[in-house]
Amino acid sequence: MYVTHLECPKCELTYESEQPIQLCTCGAPLLVGYDLDRVRDSLSKEVLASRKPTLWRYRELLPIRKDENILSLGESMTPVLPLGRLGPEVGMPHLWMKDEGLLPTGTFKARGAAVGVSRARELGIKVLAMPTNGNAGAAWAAYCAAAGIRAVIVMPADSPAINRKECIIAGASLYLVNGRISDAGKIIREAVDRFGWYDASTLKEPYRIEGKKTMGLELLEQFNWQAPDVIVYPTGGGVGIIGIYKALKELRTMGWIGEKLPRLVAVQSTGCAPIVKAWQENRKESQFWENAHTIAFGLTVPHALGDFLVLEAVRETNGCAVAVADEDILKAQQMLAQKEGTFVCPEGAATLSAAMKLAKEGWITPQEQIVLLNTGTGLKYAETVHSDPPLLQPGDRL
């Protein structure tokens, strides 16, 4: 393992990595540090290309010490699809989509769960507790089942029914709260303090980010280590965009990519846009968003613990933050399905809506390579399709 330490990105305190540590003493999330010189000396692009197409191909840049602690449900590399019909129609002829819906449990959350639960098992954790809007709970419940770790999960009562069923079938201890994910988080915090469980809330352990950063590692490898111009990412808790930014910086330090990084775009809903508001007001942290609501349920995060890291990623790459309306999200979801045959989740559809808005404003130009991140399969959001086909009777003719 090439991990050297855990580090606070806010106060820069460092910690020894072989103990179950949660947050820094200042309250900020911790990030995993690696000896990138050793990684560069021991790993080549040619060796990497010969490995199996799973996220574990990036073993040297992941925090698991012993191979026997690796848990896998088949986290294959996800495809980068050219949007050859839709892209030219919306002014982006070089438009791509990385489709995370093919991962175990149907969303990108499998990446964080695979690495986070593997590391938890390695550290001897017996009980993991977390709040969730749905998909993270489903993924962590599945991986905890495979690890023999008890999962205690609290989610809003109006979370998608499929997510509740996924948690239940995997044997997690599931509870619903009549409120938002912030309310679920308060319940988890109290339980963690009372029972001494390991808090797997977003960014309250260092290893979920490491799984999510493999999206960035994969994407750059799939582009032959030539960075696209823009990466558009749906942002709730923000772990994905933070992880992608971390991957880009590590690859740049290793000399595997050039100095110029893709412009990162954080996408939120107009019904819950604390990151966008903070970016527009040039603040380093966001404020709690009251009465959060959006059809893209994964974006319903009124205040993210890692907001300052999301804003840093956007600013340091000359990116931006954009909010889009629910009706535009649904239109984009339909466009992707009808033009490209891809049924994406609302969060993924939000990235197309945002990219179209930026292209119309001239922030994105027709010459640029644009990558949308679809974070999950639309099959988990069947309720977003409202129309019913005509009903025929036996003997009717078309």
- List the CATH number of the domain containing 343: 3.40.50.1100
Q: Is residue 303 in some structural domain?
A: yes
The answer to whether residue 137 is domain-embedded is: no
Contact predicate 336/303, CB 8 Å: no
* pLDDT of 307: 96
pLDDT (0 to 100) of residue 176: 97
* Cβ-Cβ contacts under 8 Å for 340 (sequence gap 6 or more): 81, 83, 85, 86, 97
Could you tell me if residue 359 is inside a domain?
yes
The number of domains in the chain is: 1
Cβ-based neighbours of 295, under 8 Å, separated by 6 or more: 269, 326, 329, 330, 346, 384
Could you give the CA distance from residue 47 to residue 358 in angstroms, rounded to a whole number? 38
- What does the pLDDT read at residue 1? 79
Q: What's the CA gap between 300 and 314, in Å, rounded?
A: 20
Bridge partner list, 329: none
Helix (H/G/I), strand (E/B), else coil: 64: coil
Q: Is residue 161 part of a domain?
A: no
Q: Are strands 3-7 and 14-15 parallel, antiparallel or unpaired?
A: antiparallel
Note whether residue 167 is domain-resident: no
Query: What pLDDT sits at residue 383?
Result: 85
Encoded amino acid at 170, one letter? A
Domain annotation covers residue 324: yes
Helix (H) or strand (E) holding 385: none
CA distance linking residue 114 with residue 70, whole number of Å: 8
* pLDDT tens, the chain, 398 aa long: 799 999 999 999 999 999 899 999 999 999 999 999 999 999 999 999 999 999 999 999 999 999 999 999 999 999 999 999 999 999 999 999 999 999 999 999 999 999 999 999 999 999 999 999 999 999 999 999 999 999 999 999 999 899 999 999 999 999 999 998 889 999 999 999 999 999 999 999 999 999 999 999 999 999 999 999 999 999 999 999 999 999 999 999 999 999 999 999 999 999 999 999 999 999 999 999 999 999 998 999 999 999 999 999 999 999 999 999 999 999 999 999 999 999 999 999 999 999 999 999 999 999 999 999 999 999 999 888 887 888 999 999 99
Is 15 within a domain?
no
pLDDT tens for residues 199-227? 999 999 999 999 999 999 999 999 999 99
Residue among 179, 182, 187, 252 at smallest CA distance from 217:
252
Evaluate whether residue 376 is within a structural domain: yes
At 175 the pLDDT is 97
How far from 388 is each of 144, 311, 371, CA to CA, in Å?
A: 38, 42, 32
What CA–CA distance (Å, rounded) separates 272 from 290?
8
In Å, how far from its chain's centre is CA 314? Answer: 15
**Domain limits for position 274:** 80-107+208-384
Element (H, E) at 335: helix 326-340
